[in-house]
Amino acid sequence: MTDAISISQAQLRFGETAALDGVSLAIPNGSCFGIVGESGSGKTTLMRAVLGLQKLDRGEIRILGKPLLHGRAALKERAGFIQPIFQDPAASLSPRSRIRTLMDEVGTVLREPLAATHERLHVILNRLGLPPGVVDKYPHEISGGQARRVAIARALLMKPSILIADEPTAGLDVSVQGDLLNLLQDIRRSQHITLVIISHNLAIVRLIAENAAVMRAGKVVEAGEVGSLFGSPQDAYTRELLAAWPSVSAAK
Amino acid sequence: MSGLVATLKGICSEREGRLGLAFTCLILVFALAGPLVSPDPNVIDVKARFAAPGLAHLLGTDNLGRDLLARTSAGTRYALTLAVMIVVISSVIGSLIGIVAGIAGGWVDRAVTAVFDIVNAFPPLILAFALIALYGKGSATFVLLVTVVFIPQFGRMARARAQTLRNLSFIEAERMLAVHPVTIVVRHYLPNVAGPIIVLASMNLPVVIAFEASLSFLGFGVQPPKSSLGTLIKDGFISINQSWWPTVASALVLAIATLGATLLGEALRRVIDPKTAGVR
């Protein structure tokens, strides 16, 4: 079976800093995959490279078996099966457009009649627990939690088969964090989406992901099934990270 | 609509803003209502030359007995029309060029910036003389000149904003959805570039009015018998020994127009773009 995302020997330097230093990863189709690491470890750069927002110096990325290309035609094709949820979802909604306009844009891209887009949107909003009236608001008129759901709704409207969420729970209070993770998990299972969670928070990756990779200084230091990765970490850095998270150790 | 009301409220919240708005409204009413209350600006009545202000001629008459109220009103209307036209054309063209340069980066950006630098390297007055030598005197030459001089100002501002916007999540989100680039520019760049551009445009209105008056004063602007604030000041200036009134009347109108537009522009900047305005 083809992997949803396969990365081989990805290298990228920003001046003297190696943002990605020979990263190789395979993310199985339909799975939930976590990428963990501290700030500056290269997680977000890797995500941006996978989305085609950042060109690699060397190495190859394949999405559903096809090599990642740049340019508008490639971007258009890719938009149909891979969508991001950015770290700051409020900032990922155009500030001077109503949410309805942002949603309608997706319909235009998909060349779908607006009525059909609205119908699908209605179902998605319902699913995400958003009131239908939210579409008449501007991004600054809704709460942070709602903005995140709106960003997810917009990504789902694109009918992607891969969803990449960068710090999906950042800035949310603990109860909302749990709800959101459950929601993402539900959506993933019911729609057979490959979900990639990028987070510095080991607890949420452990909770939701099946496989995970630990990154440090642009390298993958350890990757594998979540149970064994966090249960008996092989790499010293992983052990260090785990030790820094008392809640994770206590949950063992 | 609520945005417009909020902007007006913001402008009126300080004395300078209220004054600017009042002066600007006054000048607009003066320019628009002139033809209604006053005779034809070009009717010569030699018997009434250098008449003092009175019931027949509210602002008196000039050396040919032409009604000064009608002539200053026509001159103001001409200056305002040119100013608005130039500012609208140059801000639209400048913003689009600036946004494209900001988004594209690379050689496109370098080429656009170089052209902007070249245009800015000429002092406007020298460029004016060169264009007048090439195309002759007249409104069209003036519009072309000031538009060309202003485009880089708007272009630079739009370019800087676009460069910032380009890397923001919401623009990347649009790109990831494969939204058409033209839609992205029109719907997501333009509204977010508009604020500072509107402020710059309003600050440039008085500059055009004053520049038009100076060129006309020097005899390179509008040609007789049409009236412009600059030619009125010059004609009054020539015959200042017979009557000081024409100079004062037209200079006062010019002063109120530029002061009003400047104060209004400053107030608008304070409301729309508080970061670049003086610390309050």
A252/A28 Cα distance (integer angstroms): 26
> How near does any CA of chain A get to the CA of B170, in Å?
4
Kindly state the average pLDDT of the residues B161-184: 90
Q: How many CB pairs under 8 A join A and B?
A: 67
pLDDT in tens, B98-136: 999 999 989 999 999 999 999 989 888 888 888 888 888
Cβ–Cβ of B187/A94 closer than 8 Å? Answer: yes
Per mean pLDDT, which range of A107-111, A240-244, B140-144, B153-157 is the poorest? Answer: A240-244
Those residues of chain A whose CB sits closer than 8 Å to some CB in chain B are 51, 53, 72, 75-76, 78-80, 83-84, 86-88, 91-97, 101, 105-106, 108-109, 151, 154, 158
Average pLDDT of chain A is 87
pLDDT value at residue B109:
94
Query: What are the structural domains, with CATH classification, of chain B?
Result: 9-272 (1.10.3720.10)
What pLDDT is attached to residue B274? Answer: 66
Q: Which residue from B minimizes the CA distance to A94?
A: B170
| In the predicted structure, residue A129 carries a pLDDT above the cut 50 | yes
Task: Tell me which chain B residues have a C-beta less than 8 angstroms from the C-beta of A111.
Answer: none
Query: Using a CB-CB distance cutoff of 8 angstroms, which residues of chain B are in contact with residue A86?
Result: 169, 172-173
CB pair distance less than 8 Å for A76 and B178: yes
Domains of chain A, by residue range, sit at 3-81+161-251, 89-159
Contact residues, chain B to chain A, C-beta under 8 Å: 168-181, 183, 187-188, 191-192
CATH number for the region A3-81+161-251 comes to 3.40.50.300
Which chain A positions have a beta carbon within 8 Å of B172's beta carbon?
53, 84, 86, 92
Q: How far is B276 from chain A (nearest CA, A)?
A: 20
pTM of the shown model: 0.79
Nearest residue, CB atoms, B173 vs list A75, A92, A108: A92
Q: What's the 3-state SS for chain B? A: CHHHHHHHHHHHCCHHHHHHHHHHHHHHHHHHHHHHHCCCCCCCCHHHCCCCCCCCCCCCECCCCCEHHHHHHHHHHHHHHHHHHHHHHHHHHHHHHHHHHHHHCHHHHHHHHHHHHHHHHCCHHHHHHHHHHHHCCCHHHHHHHHHHHHHHHHHHHHHHHHHHHHCCHHHHHHHHCCCCHHHHHHHHHHHHHHHHHHHHHHHHHHHHHHHHHHHHHCCCCCCCCCCCHHHHHHHHHHCCCCCCHHHHHHHHHHHHHHHHHHHHHHHHHHHHCCCCCCCC
Residue from the list B178, B180, B188 with its beta carbon closest to the beta carbon of A94: B188
Distance from CA of A12 to the nearest CA of B (A): 18
Residue A247 confidence class, pLDDT cut points 50, 70, 90: low
Q: Do the chains contact at B170 and A101, CB–CB below 8 Å?
A: no
A248 pLDDT more than 60: no
Tens digit of pLDDT for each residue in B55-105?
777 777 777 778 888 888 888 888 899 899 999 999 999 999 999 999 998
Q: What pLDDT score was predicted for residue B114?
A: 96
Residues of A in contact with B105 (CB under 8 A): none
A92/B170 CB distance under 8 A = yes
Task: Report which of residues B12 and B62 the model is more confident about.
Answer: B12
Asked if the interface predicted TM-score (ipTM) of this complex is over 0.90, the answer is no
Give yes or no for residue B247 having a pLDDT over 70.
yes
